[in-house]
Amino acid sequence: MAGEGDRGRRIAVVLFNLGGPDSLEAVRPFLFNLFRDPAIIGVPAIVRYPLAALIAGLRARLARTNYGRMGGASPLLPETEQQAAALKAHLAAALPDAAVEVVIAMRYWRPFAADAAAAVEAFAPDEIVLLPLYPQFSTTTTASSLEAWAAAYRGPGHVRAVCCYPLAAGLADAHAERIEAAWAAAGRPTPVRLIFSAHGLPERVVEAGDPYQTQVEATAAAVAQSLGGSWDWRIAYQSRVGPLKWLGPTTLEAIDEAVADGLGVVICPIAFVSEHVETLVELDHDYRIHAEALGCTAFVRAPALGAQPAFIEALATIVGDALARSGGVGPGSPFTCAAAWSKCPVRRAA
C-alpha cells in the first residue's frame, strides 16, 4: 500500500461490528458463528458447539425470511464500508502527513478479524486504533470483538483500544439530528413519545458487572438534553430471545404503553449505528405492524447514524484522542464506570 503517505507515520484504524450474512445461504453459518461465541452462550465448547448448531438450525428459516425482506443479505457491511471510507477521508484531511488505513473486522461473518488482521499486517502500521462501532460497551459485543482481534493479529504497531464512547462529543447531537429530521419528515405529529430502543441483554449479564445498561441510559439522557429537554422519552430493549429474563421494558411494551397513553411513537435505535435486521425488519416491519394494529396515532423511526457527518466527525475525534494517549484501553469520551461494573475493561486493566 505504498503512496504519498509513506513519508509520515502509518496509522491503521480497525472498525469492529457484528457482521451479517451476505446471502441467504450464509444465514445458517452466520447464526452458528453467533451462538458458538462464549460471550453469547457461556458454557464449555463441547456443549456450546452442538447447542449453537441446534439453535442456528431452528432459527435459520425465520432469519432467511427476514433477510429476504432486505433483498437477501444484510446491509451492515456496505454501510460499514461507507463509514470506513468517510472516516478515512476525514482522518486523511486531519493528518496530512500520515498514511491512514481504515479496516473492517466483523465478528460473525466476513470480513472476520483474521481477514482484517492480514490487511493491517500488510499495511505495517506504526500505530493502531481499535474502534468498535458499539458506542456502549458490553462483554457480548466490544469485549468479544477485541478478544477475536487479539487472537488474530501478530503484526506491528502500537495499539490503543477504545472500549466505549457513550458520551462522545457529537454522538448525542448526531442522534438528535436524525430524530428531528425523521419527525419533521412525518409532519411533526403530536403528542408523541420518544422511545430509545437498544438491543437487549439477559439481566444476568448486567448483574455480573456489564456496564451496557448504564451506558445506554447515559447516551439516551444526553440525546434528550440535545433535543432541548422537551420530549417525553423512555428507554426500551428489543431482540429478546430464549427463556432468560432480559432487560426491560421491551420495545413492544413501550409501544403498548404509549398507545395506552394516547401517544404516537418516535423510535431511535440508540445502540445501533448502522441499519440491519433489527432496525429494518424488527423495528420498521414487525413493530410498525404491531403499533398500527393497536391504533397508534403515529409511528416514526429515526434512521441509524450511518455515515452522517456529525457521527463521522465524532469517530475521528475519538481516533485523535486515542492517538494522543500512551496506549492500552480507554473510553473514547469522558466516562467512568462505577465500581459495580466490574466487566469494564478499564477497571479490569487497573
Q: What is the mean pLDDT of residues 8-17?
A: 95
Bridge-based pairing of strands 99-106 and 127-132 is unpaired
The three-class DSSP label of residue 262 is coil
Q: What is the mean pLDDT of residues 38-57?
A: 94
Phi-psi region of 124 (alpha: psi -120 to 50; beta: other; left: phi over 0): left
* pLDDT tens-digit map of 152-178: 999 999 999 999 999 998 999 999 999
The single-letter DSSP state of residue 141 is: I
Closest of 153, 130, 154 to residue 142, by C-alpha:
130
In order of start, what are the domains of the chain with their CATH numbers? 4-19+75-165+308-349 (3.40.50.1400), 24-69 (no CATH), 171-301 (3.40.50.1400)
Is 179 in contact with 268 (CB distance < 8 Å)?
yes
- Residue 339: exposed, middle, or buried by beta-carbon count in 10 A (0-12, 13-18, 19+)? exposed
pTM given for the model: 0.95
* pLDDT tens-digit map of 262-301: 999 999 999 999 999 999 999 999 999 999 999 999 999 9
What is residue 6's predicted lDDT score, i.e. its pLDDT? Answer: 44
Other residues' Cβ atoms within 10 Å of the Cβ of residue 342? 13
Instruction: Report which residue type is found at 13.
Output: V
pLDDT tops 50 at residue 332: yes
Measured distance CA(235)–CA(186) in Å, rounded: 22
Q: What is the largest CA-CA distance in the chain?
A: 63
Other residues' Cβ atoms within 10 Å of the Cβ of residue 311? 26
Measured distance CA(49)–CA(18) in Å, rounded: 19
Measured distance CA(252)–CA(286) in Å, rounded: 10
Burial 195-227 (b: 16+ CB within 10 A, else e): bbbbbbbbeebbeebbbbbbbbbbbbbbbbebb
* pLDDT tens-digit map of 112-157: 999 999 999 999 999 999 999 999 999 999 999 999 999 999 999 9
Quick check: bond before 191 cis, omega within 30?
A: yes
Measured distance CA(16)–CA(14) in Å, rounded: 6
Percent of the chain with pLDDT over 70: 98
Which residue bears the cell 457513550?
166
| CA–centroid distance for 186 within its chain | 26
What is residue 180's predicted lDDT score, i.e. its pLDDT? Answer: 98
Q: What's the mean per-residue pLDDT of the chain? A: 95
| CA–centroid distance for 219 within its chain | 13
